[in-house]
Every structure is written in structure tokens, then in C-alpha cells.
Structure 1
Amino acid sequence: MLHPLTTQLVGSYTKPTWLIKHNEIYRLGGRAWLIESDLLEGAQADVARLSIYDQEKAGMDLLTDGEPWRSAWDRHFISRLGGLNIARPANIVVPPSEIDTVKFKEEGEWSREDDDGLPRVVGPIEWLEPITVKELEFAKRQTGRPLKTQIVGPFTVIDRLADEYYHDELELAMAVAAALNKELLALEKAGAAVLHIDDPVMHSRFSRSKRLGIAPIERMIEGLTRPTTVHVCYGYAYSKESKAPSPTYPELLELLASVKGLTAMSIEYEQPRHQPDLLRHCGDKHVVLGLLDLGTTNIETPEHIASRIRDALEVIPPERLHPSSDCGMWHLPREVAFGKIRALVRGTDIVRRELGLPTSWPMTCS
């Protein structure tokens, strides 16, 4: 399902400011939503339709639903797992990031609202029922194009929990991975073309990732037959003013390159201004390459996109390279987000023509 230079998003598309408070997305209980509860599902459905429409109009190959159903992508899953106490969270906050090459925006522009605390682990972590299958089924009714589904990864989940049960990070991570594996199996059965795991904490807390190793990721993708991708990044551009290349990022990519059964790694490339040498750490995996800087409302030119792809092709062959956004686009105005993905497609098409490749692929949902 991954043809050469398959264009795609990393998860989210525009989430309008009439739908959600951007600076409160991590509030527990869905308190960031601006729409009354009896109207919210209809509003989210309309945003999903617009997201899919824009991606189709831009000519994207592999679509997402834009994630309008989710406030914070991680808590969307965490709040639905068994073994957690959400009603009485622990009065502790998420540990600080270890990425010292990131400059955060001024206080007040981004409110993480961690006064809500962290959900407490009070029993065995369990997958109770499908969490996002209905979202995939809705998206499939809107398009005949193949769909990528996104779920949170185990390293990010354990970072968002207060463990009062396992008292062992690896045991907790493996339990989370086993539960999330059931969600991926359900999504595969429902017809997802590509299964995408968002796990940015693998980078932001890399010392723990090295300590725990690749076993949680391998457990999470166990038994899957569709292409699987793990996305690792520097964090949302919404809260980061600037990003310089992190010295731990190449080592992280080497860690992912060693994961058996993993198809691709999805990497943030454009805003940190990474260069092709970084790609030498990706082994024989497919690379979903972030070429849209989401820290600016400036729209990239197709020529810039094409130039970055050509440079990357010096290291990664076209059958394993896939242009994408750096990360989620939820915070960008729709006209900016659309301009960026249209430039991504047009820049990719320039390179496809140079390589004698089709400018679109006959891909359909299964």
C-alpha cells in the first residue's frame, strides 16, 4: 500500500478554533471543546468531511480523517483503557522534555493545564473495546482513497500515567503495548490501509527509550499484516518556537531501524532543518519524511519540496521514501494547511515526473 513517494499527513489536519480551544487540548473530560455536547459529534463529523475533502482536492495519496474526534491524541486513547482512574487523577505533572535543542514559546501562549493531573494506574491495563474503529468506518464512507489510522504509542502513554499498580516501567509499557495491539488489530480488520503509531516521547525522553528498548514497540505491532509506521518528533510546533537538530535523534532512528516487523519510521525533518545524512540512520525501513514546517504559516513552494526530496533520494530510494507533513497540522488555519499539502503534492509530482513515475497511484481502500 506504500507506492514510491506516497504523499500523506502525520495524523491531524486543521481543527478550527470554533471547534476547540487550542491551548487547552489536554484538559481531561473533553473540556476543551467549544460545541455543546448534543451538537459536538455532528460538528466533528463535518470537520472530518472537510479534512478528507481538502486532502482529496490537494491530491494526497494516503488520507487521514484529520483527527477531529480527538482533543489530545494521547488522552483520546488513555481515557478509554481499563485499569485507570480518570476521575481522581494524581496531583503530578508530565516530566520535562530532555530535548534541549527546542525553544518553547513564551508562557501564556500554550497552556498544558496539568492541574488536571495524570490518570492513575490502579489495576491491569486492558483494552475494553474498539476506540477508533468507528472513526475509520466514518472516514471510509466519505472516500474511496486508502486511509491511514493513527494511535498513540506505549512510551507516550506511560509518560502520561501515574503508576500505582505495576511499579515497573517496562512491565507497564508492555501491558500498554498489548492493549494497544488489540486496537491496531481491530483497525486492520476494519480496513485501515496503513497503521500509524504516534510516539513522540520516544524522543523527548530518550534516556528511558534506550533503557526500555524496542520490546514495547515490537509487542504493539505483533501479528499485524498491514504496513506499520512509528512517528517520532520534537513536539508540536504550536508550543515550540524553534527546533535545532537534536544529537539524540539519529540514535533514536537507529533504535527504530532495529524493530522487527516495522515497515516505516515517520520523522520530523523540515522545521529542525535536518539534512540527508540523518537518513543514513534509518536502515532499510521506509521513511515518511516531514517536509512541511508547521512552525510557520508560510507556505512552502513546490520547488522547495522537490529540492528536499531530490536530496533525500541520494540516501533513500524512491520506493522507500514518502513525503509528509512534519507532524500534526491541527493548529494551522485551514487555508494555510491546504496550501501546504497542495505544495507537498505538487513538489512530489515534479520529482515523480523526473523519475518517470505516475503522478497518482490507483490506490483504494480494502
Structure 2
Amino acid sequence: MAQSQDGGNPFAEPGELDNPFQDPAVIQHRPSPHYATLDVYNPFETREPPPTYEPPAPASLPPPSAPSQSSRKLSPTEPKNYGSYSTQASAAAATAELLKKQEELNRKAEELDRRERELQHAALGGTATRQNNWPPLPSFCPVQPCFFQDISMEIPQEFQKTVSTMYYLWMCSTLALLLNFFACLASFCVESSNGSGFGLSFLWVLLFTPCSFVCWYRPMYKAFRSDSSFNFFIFFFIFFAQDVLFVLQAIGNPGWGFSGWISAMVLLKTNVAVAVLMMLVALFFTGIAVLGIVMLQRIHSLYRRTGASFQKAQQEFAAGVFSNPAVRTAAANAAAGAAENAFRAP
């Protein structure tokens, strides 16, 4: 096969062009200013050339319309609309109801925890294995605690605050008696005729401190612990007398061993410093008397809501007396002695 003289394609068929780049299919896809890119070129597909690239025309803005009521900007002085009053009130009522239910559930959970602790103590042996913890005395002291007291475990949740307040009232009354002793001692130091009052103040400290705890605080504690009508009646009777005593302590007649208002006024002419100390003690006694009256009324209102009654107190007293082993033993011995005497009689 003869080679072309002009350097053409030796493999070309007769009638074909010597230069393959002069092919019309190639020439029509050459870059030109009418095309944006060459990415549309596909040598295996014959199609019409794409249209000339033209940038899109900017979209025309819609005509301005009047602002709607919802998108309108409010003025600073114009009130905002947060919904109807009825909707807000119903939402607030629903929230308050949920909070109330949550508090009730928390209270019930605490009550269940307390009862669970009581059952655990009972499973370990009940009160026999429970050690007394009051008064809190060191281990080396020859006198050991006489009572067990745990307000958070033994007292129901709704009465714990009341019992704690009464415990603090007893502590304040004991502190007031101690301050009264020191005030009477100071009064005796500046006025020798006040010796009887100083002696009585020492007696009141030794007498009223344990008796008040045993006679009215412990019955109140046991009444709330076991809902005992009998203990409630004991508490009301004795604590009423205690409130009368608080008032007498605040008054402070000379010679009674109380640093009340009258004793302080009498000593004001002799020694001002001691009279001021006695006035502070009298103020302390007055606050305790007021708090005692308020707590007596509060506990009485709680007592009326528990459903206690005098008949229930009588039943508890009878059950307690007949369940006492010493009483049963004494009754059995008396019955046996009476029967023996009856048989011996002619």
C-alpha cells in the first residue's frame, strides 16, 4: 500500500479526509463562545447542540401588601396578647394540682420509708434490741439513756414539725430555768434577803427539768406516735398546768424563786445591772408562755381531727391496765386470796 505523499493518514479509505480532526462531528463540538463549558460533550451521542447559556433574569419582587395582624410589630406601649385569661387560669390550676399531687406522693414515700424502717427494726427483734438514745450521755457515764427517741422514724410526717417544736419548747424552758437560777444568785449576792428565792430557783431546776420531760413531753410524743387518746388526755391536763406555771414564772412574784417582771422591778432600785438581767429572764419566760399557749391550741386542733375521744381513751386505759403483767399478777393473787378465805370461812 502506497504511503500518501502529503503526510496524510495511510489507513484512510478512499474518499475520506486525511486529517481526522477535520471530521464534522468533531468540528461542531469544538469550544466556542456560545458554550459555557465542555462538559456536555459526548462523542458517542449525536444530538443537537445545547442552547446558549444565559444567566437567569432576577425574580420580580411581589407587590407590598398590608402587614397582617400576626406579623405586625407591636409598639412598646401596646400590651401583648398571651392568650385568654381562662386559658391561663386553667393552666395555672393544672400546674398547682400537679404540684399538690407531687407533694402528696413525696409525703407518702417518706411515710413508707418510715414504716419500712420500723418493720426492719421489728424484724431485728423489735424494741428489745433497740437501744435507748436519750438523754445523750457518754458511754463512760454510770447513768445510761432512759428513752428511745427518733422523731423522723417514729412520728408520722405531718406531725413531725409539731413534735420538734414541742421538743425545742422543752429545751427552752430548761434553759430559762438555768438562767433564772443565775439571775436569782446574782439577786442574792446584792440583796441578802433574797436567799429563799435563790434556794427555790435551784429546786425548780432540779424538779421541773425531768418532770416536764416525763409528764408532758413524753405523753405528747407517744400520743402522736401511736395515735393514743389516753396520752393526749394526759398531755392536755399536765401541759395546761405547765402553761399556768409559765405565766407565773413570767410574772415573778418576789420570794417564789422566779426572775419575773415584778422581781426585776423591785430590784431595779437596788442594782440596775442585776435588774436588767432579771428582765431578760422575764422576757424569756414571757416568750415561752406565749409559745406554750399557741402550741396547746394547735395540738388540740390536731387532736380533734384525729378522731380521738374520751371513750377511746377509757378503752385504751382499760386495755393497758389489764395487759400489764404486774396488774394481772396482783389481780390473780387477790382473787386467789379471796377464794381461799371463802373456803376457810365456817
- Which structure dedicates a bigger proportion of its chain to helix? 2
Q: Considering Cα pairs closer than 8 Å and 6+ residues apart, tell me whether 1 or 2 has the greater RCO.
A: 1
Normalization by structure 2: what TM-score? 0.20
Which has more radius of gyration? 2
